Structure 1
């Protein structure tokens, strides 16, 4: 074995980008609230490397509240067309303002405006309220660049456990587990 988990992720991710019809970068993000209640939702991978896996969100949302200091999270990629999944677990940290600014600048204008208009995860009395807020933000930034809202930015999950799951006939699946060991990673197998 002795495969590097980041190299293996890059290989599987490239294959998913080529074969998945929609959102090959979609991943389930699992968090736990202060009350111990688990919560899971889909987010989009927007960067990855040896330092971790990055996604962006409103930092006043429920998920951001569950990603506070010292928190941990789980990620799950599931690529049905390839009959594969990858599970990642580890501590969470905020990405730098510079990194958040750079990604925000790469987003489509309407997505940028939506980040200003949405009070993500908070109650909404009517859809029209949100649409009115969106139009007000569109007017506010008409003819100028849309800056990153101060309440919006990225998070990085730094893995301390990565599991690669491959479907096999008769539910005799293959599960490869990587955990940090010294300066590298130890690899082992798990029963399906």
Structure 2
């Protein structure tokens, strides 16, 4: 049903990965045209040391046959949870397209070179913010954050802002995809791809 996809934006190495990754790339491309805000926004679900789940929205920053990449402060709640339990689930939902994609898989940390390159591409204010924010931790008030921003703005001046050691990226390496499309009367379409031991995908259509 979703097999006939051809998206130049994603370079694929093996035919085994073509169908799900091409579909993700095509749907993202369509969402960029129709979604009014943040078409690359996705929910990331993690678990803590006791197995309690938590979920939040982040922005997808890379997608190819190696996985889906996003960046964060490793000292944040999601950073700590992913380092402790390197598994996660993602969810894209595009209301304008009436579609969603679920992705599950293992987590790995991106290379320093990848993190450095992406950090360098960010606006300087965002780079300063990465230094100033003790993400997910309590602060006395907004003034404390603003003082930290002023401190690091003065420290780095007009020069290059280096990437903090605690700020980097995660790559989710998918083992499961589910593509969902809305249909009238709740007769929706659900197609799944599960990675098997041979490195190819088992394809299944689910009841809505």
Scaled to the shorter chain, the TM-score interval is over 0.9
What are the superposed Cα offsets for residues 37-94 of structure 1, whole Å, 9 maximum, x if unpaired? 1100000000011111000000111101110155210000000000000000001010
TM-score (norm: length of structure 2): 0.90
The answer to whether 1:8 aligns with 2:23 is: yes
The answer to whether 1:118 aligns with 2:133 is: yes
| 2:122 aligned residue (81, 85, 107) | 107
What are the superposed Cα offsets for residues 14-56 of structure 1, whole Å, 9 maximum, x if unpaired? 0001111110010000000001211000000000111110000
| 2:88 aligned residue (73, 86, 89) | 73
* Aligned 8 A contact 1:57 1:152 in 2: yes
* Aligned 8 A contact 1:26 1:45 in 2: yes
Equivalence for 2:143? 128
Equivalence for 2:200? 184
| Moved >4 Å (runs of 4+) | none
| 1:52 aligned residue (64, 67, 77) | 67
List alignment gaps of at least 5 residues for structure 2.
Answer: 4-18
* Aligned 8 A contact 1:70 1:91 in 2: no
Q: Which structure is higher in RCO with an 8 Å CA cutoff and minimum separation 6? A: 1
- Give, in whole Å, the separation in 2 of the partners of 1:141 and 1:68: 29
Equivalence for 2:102? 87
In the TM superposition, residue 2 of structure 1 has moved relative to its aligned partner by 7.6
| Residues paired across the two proteins, number | 192
- Give, in whole Å, the separation in 1 of the partners of 2:2 and 2:98: 23
- The Cα RMSD (Å) is 1.1
* Aligned 8 A contact 2:47 2:85 in 1: no
List alignment gaps of at least 5 residues for structure 1.
Answer: none
TM-score (norm: length of structure 1): 0.97
The answer to whether 1:29 aligns with 2:44 is: yes
The secondary structure found in structure 2 opposite 1:159 is strand
* Aligned 8 A contact 2:49 2:84 in 1: no
